[in-house]
Amino acid sequence: AAMNLMIAANALGYGTNMISNWYSDVPEGRAILGLSPQERVIGFVHIGSYHGPAPERPRPDPAKLYDDYTGPWAG
């Protein structure tokens, strides 16, 4: 559902961003939203407009994110 919301907003010319992290399910937020114990927050979808190029964000070096895994059977 969140992806469909984001695609629809993008099709209308809006920018979107979904944030899901530790603050998606903190007790204070659950109380503000009036959630029951069986309900869960998966994230927050931000929708808005921005005029100009999207600012670049810091990105990790891809070479540091993976290694050549050969498995336990490799020599």
57 belongs to a structural domain: no
24 belongs to a structural domain: yes
The residue segments making up the domain with residue 13 are 2-51
72 belongs to a structural domain: no
pLDDT at residue 63 above 70? yes
| Beta strand pairing call for 15-19 and 44-48 | antiparallel
60 belongs to a structural domain: no
Model-level pTM? 0.59
pLDDT of 6 reads 96
CA distances, 58 to each of 6, 7, 9, 18, 33 (Å): 23, 25, 25, 17, 32
Q: Choose between 27 and 72: higher pLDDT.
A: 27
Residue range 23-58, pLDDT digits in tens: 777 888 889 999 998 998 888 999 999 888 878 889
pLDDT of 75 reads 60
Q: How many domains does the chain have?
A: 1
41 belongs to a structural domain: yes
Q: Indicate the average pLDDT of the chain.
A: 87
CA dist., res. 70 & res. 75, Å (int)? 9
